[in-house]
Structure 1
């Protein structure tokens, strides 16, 4: 399973990259705004910086909702760097745009997926990634990880090449559960990734090792 980090913060991207486990980055307009990145020129430069930091797919999201506008915006984003994957919302014009991008050699990530039916449409249109938002599904009282498992199973049965990218990760356990469900990719905040390192028995064991090491070298 590939690990992406869901942020536009360069320090967090660097920390995840330096850990040696980072395969890509996902961003969206909200994450860009959170970092104070506004305006087309600044956003383009920020994407260039991220692409030069991480040798992997970098999802850059369109803000348009009409077919022609999505195409125009997506073409600009794709031209920034070969690693850019155009992130397109799961709407009617979005699916049409994904098909156009696919036919014209531009990789896409279909975002805001909340059902298996939506995932089937994205795969039929040729999306490279489908992003089910499991945390938001959990918020409604349903099981987001179960949706990941369902989509993975459907894709395997039907032979779809679209990769299931589990998004809206809320905690470290979500990452483990998505791995068990067969997700091809998980994108999460740095905190959830680093949370995988933690276990009280590891802390206890390390403290004991260090204590014994001191006895060996008084």
Structure 2
């Protein structure tokens, strides 16, 4: 399973890269706004840092605008993936962009048939929002399982990005289901890396190390 980070914070991206586990980045207008920096500057810096896919979202709500913005975004860097919402206008834009060889990540997916439609339109990725579905008493990971099953039945190569991840259990369940990608906030990534028993064990080892005579280093 590939690991993406869901952020526009360059410092977080640099730290995730240093761990050797980062495969890509997903962003959205909310995340970029938090940086208080010019939009294009942020995206270009991320694209220079990260060799993998960098998802960048359009803001138009009509197909013509989405296509225009998608073409512009894709021209900035070869690793940019255009994020398009799953709406009727979004499907029209996906069809046009994908036929032009521009990779599309279909965002804001909340039921499996939306993902199927995105795949049929030519999307390279679909992003089911598991946390937001859980927030309204849904079952986000069931959505992921259904999408993966449908894609297997019909041989779609569209990859599933498990998004709106709230905690490490979402990451674990995504891996168990065989999701292609999980994108997580930096805080969740750190929760996945760390465990209190690891910290306790390391502290004990270091304490005992001080008792060893004639240390080589």
Q: Distance in 2 between matches of 1:195 and 1:31?
A: 20
* 2:8 matches 1:2: no
Q: What's 1:124 paired with?
A: 120
> What 5-or-longer segments of structure 1 have no aligned partner?
none
Number of matched residues? 214
Q: What's 1:17 paired with?
A: 17
Q: Distance in 1 between matches of 2:145 and 2:212?
A: 50
Q: What's 2:80 paired with?
A: 84
Q: Distance in 1 between matches of 2:52 and 2:161?
A: 14
Q: Give the counterpart of 1:105 among 101, 104, 117.
A: 101
* 2:204 matches 1:208: yes
Question: How far has the Cα of 1:200 moved from its partner?
Answer: 2.4
> What 5-or-longer segments of structure 2 have no aligned partner?
none
Q: Distance in 2 between matches of 1:185 and 1:213?
A: 40
- TM-score (norm. length: structure 2): 0.96
Q: Distance in 2 between matches of 1:71 and 1:6?
A: 23
Question: How far has the Cα of 1:197 moved from its partner?
Answer: 1.9
- TM-score (norm. length: structure 1): 0.95
State the SS of the aligned residue for 1:160. Answer: coil
State the SS of the aligned residue for 2:193. Answer: coil
State the SS of the aligned residue for 1:59. Answer: strand
Q: What's 2:66 paired with?
A: 70
Q: Distance in 2 between matches of 1:115 and 1:81?
A: 31
For residues 70-98 of structure 1, what are the alpha-carbon distances to aligned partners after superposition, in whole Å with 9 as ceiling and x for unaligned? Answer: 11111000000000000000000101111
Question: How far has the Cα of 1:205 moved from its partner?
Answer: 1.6
State the SS of the aligned residue for 2:54. Answer: strand
* 2:152 matches 1:156: yes
Question: How far has the Cα of 1:217 moved from its partner?
Answer: 3.1
For residues 121-150 of structure 1, what are the alpha-carbon distances to aligned partners after superposition, in whole Å with 9 as ceiling and x for unaligned? Answer: 001011111000000000011110111111
Q: Distance in 1 between matches of 2:213 and 2:94?
A: 63
State the SS of the aligned residue for 1:164. Answer: strand
Question: How far has the Cα of 1:201 moved from its partner?
Answer: 2.1
Q: Distance in 2 between matches of 1:34 and 1:107?
A: 26
Q: Distance in 1 between matches of 2:181 and 2:17?
A: 16
Q: Distance in 1 between matches of 2:19 and 2:135?
A: 31
